[in-house]
Amino acid sequence: MIPRPRYPRQYLVASLRPDGFKPHHFRGMDEPNGIAVPDDPVRAAAQVARRVLPRYAEALNAVRRSALRQPEPPHRPAAPEVTESLTLIWYPDGVVGAPSASVPAVARTVLYTCCFQYSPHEAAFVLPASYSTGARALLLQSAVRQLTAQGIGVNFRHAAPTPSRPISTAAPTLGAPPGARQPAARR
């Protein structure tokens, strides 16, 4: 119970959370609203008894039932143990693939069923860029789901970008290169 701001002759009455319950017990519960009561104790007590206490008792019973149904908060299950792993690489040309030497034998069947192709001249399993973006996303999602169900972890990486021009290792020169024309001096 607190004085109601800007209303000098009224008070706000609201119920508090009961002790002994955890936050997940209150999830989805309709909490009783507070009310404004006059400063007359008899009228205030009548309004609290009629409007607050029944709602509070109903909410408290609902919280008690929730605590009996689920005493501890729900937890997400841990990921299954990974026995092997596979790294899929996004190449700059849009192809997704994995070098065949790094693909576990049990994963090859899954990759084939998800439209990956073995490319002997690249020595890799690749999902061609000829599929639409949506189709590739669905195929990758299906492959990852099937592989993780078998205990194979899947990692995604981007291929290292190839430099467009060779990087020079020569030390930088302070002046103009030899044979370059010097600008004419102003007069």
The CATH class of 84-158 is alpha beta
Q: Would the pLDDT of 173 be above 90?
A: no
Triad 89, 90, 94: Cα angle to 5°: 145
Q: Say if residue 60's pLDDT is above 60.
A: yes
pLDDT at 142 over 60: yes
CA-nearest of 103, 29, 76, 101 to 112 is 103
pLDDT at 38 (0 to 100)? 95
Q: Are 47 and 36 in contact (CB under 8 A)?
A: no
The predicted model gives 105-129 an average pLDDT of 93
Residue 165's pLDDT is 60
Please state which of the ranges 108-112, 151-155, 175-179 shows the lowest mean pLDDT: 175-179
* Mean pLDDT computed over every residue of the chain: 86
Has residue 57 got a pLDDT over 60? Answer: yes
* Distance of alpha carbon 125 from alpha carbon 6, whole angstroms: 73
Q: Give the distance from CA 106 to its chain's centroid.
A: 29
pLDDT tens, 4-34? 999 999 999 998 888 999 988 988 888 889 9
Residue 163 and residue 96: Cα distance in Å, rounded? 20
Q: Where in the chain is the domain with CATH 3.30.70?
A: 84-158
Rounded CA-CA distance 77/70 in Å is: 16
